[in-house]
Amino acid sequence: MNKEYHTIIIGAGVAGMTAALYLKRAGINVLLIEKEAPGGQVIKTAKIENYPGIIEIEGPELAMKMYKQLTNLEVPFLFDEVQSVEKHESEINVITSQEKLTCHNLIIATGRTPRKLGIENEEKLTGKGISWCAICDGPLYRNKDVAVIGGGRAAVEEAIYLSKLCNKVTLIHRKDNFRAENTLVEELKSHDNIEVITPDTVVEFIPKEGKLDKLVLESGRQLSVDGCFEFIGQVPMTEIFRPLGIVNPITHYIDVDQNLRTVIPNIYACGDCLDKELYQIVTACSEGAIVADHILKEDN
Ligand SMILES: Cc1cc2nc3c(=O)[nH]c(=O)nc-3n(C[C@H](O)[C@H](O)[C@H](O)COP(=O)(O)OP(=O)(O)OC[C@H]3O[C@@H](n4cnc5c(N)ncnc54)[C@H](O)[C@@H]3O)c2cc1C
């Protein structure tokens, strides 16, 4: 027989974990399914300074605190990848790589994954010089020269983080202005070992003996680097929900109403898998709480 839950949450990022917190505290039989580790993007974030009440915290520490809060409440976690979802008249089936589960409500909190440049040798050099996570791979480049590609808040934050580990950081951005707070941009500019190249972009990765050796820029300039970190945006992880008809065909985000309901009854979504203005921890947590509250109200 399929295991049955009142509510299943797919994705244990901060949005999914917040929804689980609110539901479990209200006595709901909830299951969280996660294909990697609890925390999602937060585990890949070096330093967080804009979560209210916490002056400064490393991403993995915040993720672990949230995870511990849930395990203290005995929220069950299933570490597995959801492969598909089927909606039937009175129940929803969630099919993972190992099992088939049943629930009354489903919360999609699958977040986003880094966008790739899609240029020559990128795939081949993944893990051999090219990375999307400074906190995971930064220590591999201690005292070495690295490049960061991107001009948003994440690129600026991670370039600053890397400048404390690496010999030199070259930040390459296709525009002249950054999409980050002035305080961050000022901090970026205050580091002597950060060089900013704008407007320019990387058009080719050149390997040597199986590892990244050089970047070729659109301007024709070549840079010798040991590592290159890409922060050029994110894409939603929503592909598996396409057959349900709830994924926007243009944006690829999950379409929801103001109560975070999809067009399918009992299927909700929250966090970075939604099309919204601000992709932050505080907004993802807020949406997790709103979805949970809505489910609790629907039940009463
Ligand atoms: C480098 C970087 C720095 C950032 N810095 C900050 C900052 O300083 N302050 C701030 O507020 N925000 C910051 N953000 C943004 C913030 O981290 C995100 O907005 C927030 O964490 C999103 O949470 P989420 O739960 O919606 O999604 P995610 O964190 O993306 O979590 C989604 C989870 O779902 C899982 N999942 C996906 N598909 C499946 C599946 N099929 N089966 C099972 N599990 C699945 C994923 O593995 C993942 O763990 C940063 C982001 C990045 C990338």
Pocket of ligand 1 (CB under 6 A): 10-16, 33-36, 40-42, 44-45, 48, 50, 81-82, 109-112, 154, 157-158, 237, 240, 271-272, 279-282, 284
Question: How far is the CA of 120 from the CAs of 126, 203, 224, in angstroms?
Answer: 12, 8, 17
Mark whether 102 and 245 lie in a shared domain. yes
Question: Is the predicted pLDDT of residue 127 greater than 80, yes or no?
Answer: yes
Going from the Cα of 236 to the center of ligand 1, the distance in angstroms, rounded, reads 10
To test the pocket of ligand 1, the residue of 43, 45, 252 to mutate (highest count of ligand atoms within 8 Å of its CB) is: 45
3 state DSSP class of 212:
strand
Mark whether 40 and 98 lie in a shared domain. yes
pLDDT of residue 79: 98
* Closest residue by CA, ligand 1 atom 14: 280
**Which residues are 168's β-sheet partners?**
145
* Closest residue by CA, ligand 1 atom 25: 13
Alpha-carbon distance 60 to 236, whole Å? Answer: 21
Overall average pLDDT of the 250-267 stretch: 96
Q: Which domain holds residue 205?
A: 116-230
Mark whether 158 and 121 lie in a shared domain. yes
Going from the Cα of 210 to the center of ligand 1, the distance in angstroms, rounded, reads 31
Last residue of a domain, one of 182, 200, 230: 230
pTM of the predicted model as reported, rounded to 2 decimal places:
0.90
Higher pLDDT, 10 or 277: 10
Task: Determine whether 53 is exposed, middle or buried from the number of CB atoms within 10 Å of its CB (0-12, 13-18, 19+).
Answer: exposed
pLDDT of residue 135: 87
Residue-wise pLDDT tens digits, 172-230: 999 999 999 999 999 999 999 999 999 999 999 999 999 999 999 999 999 999 999 99
Give me the active site residues, please: 133, 136-137
Residue-wise pLDDT tens digits, 37-69: 999 999 988 888 899 999 999 999 999 999 999
- Residue 265 is inside which H or E element, if any? none
Which residue carries 């949450």 as its tokens?
9
* Closest residue by CA, ligand 1 atom 15: 280
Mark whether 63 and 101 lie in a shared domain. yes
The structural domain count of the chain equals 2
pLDDT of residue 1: 62
Contact by Cβ (8 Å): 109, 11: yes
Dihedral angle, C-alpha 96, 66, 154, 237, nearest 10 ° = 20
Going from the Cα of 192 to the center of ligand 1, the distance in angstroms, rounded, reads 31
Alpha-carbon distance 297 to 167, whole Å? Answer: 55
Last residue of a domain, one of 230, 258, 290: 230
Last residue of a domain, one of 204, 230, 256: 230
Question: Is the predicted pLDDT of residue 92 greater than 80, yes or no?
Answer: yes
pLDDT of residue 136: 86
Mark whether 245 and 108 lie in a shared domain. yes
What CATH number has the domain bearing residue 147?
3.50.50.60
* Closest residue by CA, ligand 1 atom 7: 48
